[in-house]
Amino acid sequence: MSDTPVKITVKNNGSLRVEGGTFEIYDAEGKMFSLAGRTAVSICRCGHSQKQPFCDGSHAACDFKSEVKAFDLPPK
């Protein structure tokens, strides 16, 4: 396993960009998605991608709007 932390960037009006380190993505039944060697992927936030859970650029056509700024979660 890599010690490099996985970086997830919330893209304004778009996807979650996942990159760095080592990561795996599974469906609800525990089956792993093959990323075909990709070291970075974009995860859909808008719900309109035809390739869920991955972004296919559809957020632009549906005019998805979501701009976020980092904040601190309250203690658990």
Contact pick of 40, 59, 65, 75 for ligand FES (by CB under 6 A): 59
Contact pick of 17, 20, 23, 58 for ligand FES (by CB under 6 A): 58
Q: Does 18 bind ligand FES (CB under 6 A)?
A: no
DSSP string, 4-70: SPPEEEE-TTS-EEEESS----B-TTSPBPP-TT-SEEEE-SSS--TTTTB--SHHHHTT-------
Cα(26)–Cα(8) distance, integer angstroms: 16
Contact pick of 33, 36, 37, 45 for ligand FES (by CB under 6 A): 45
What's the closest the beta carbon of residue 1 comes to ligand FES, in angstroms? Answer: 28
Site residues for ligand FES per CB under 6 A: 14-15, 44-46, 48-49, 55-59
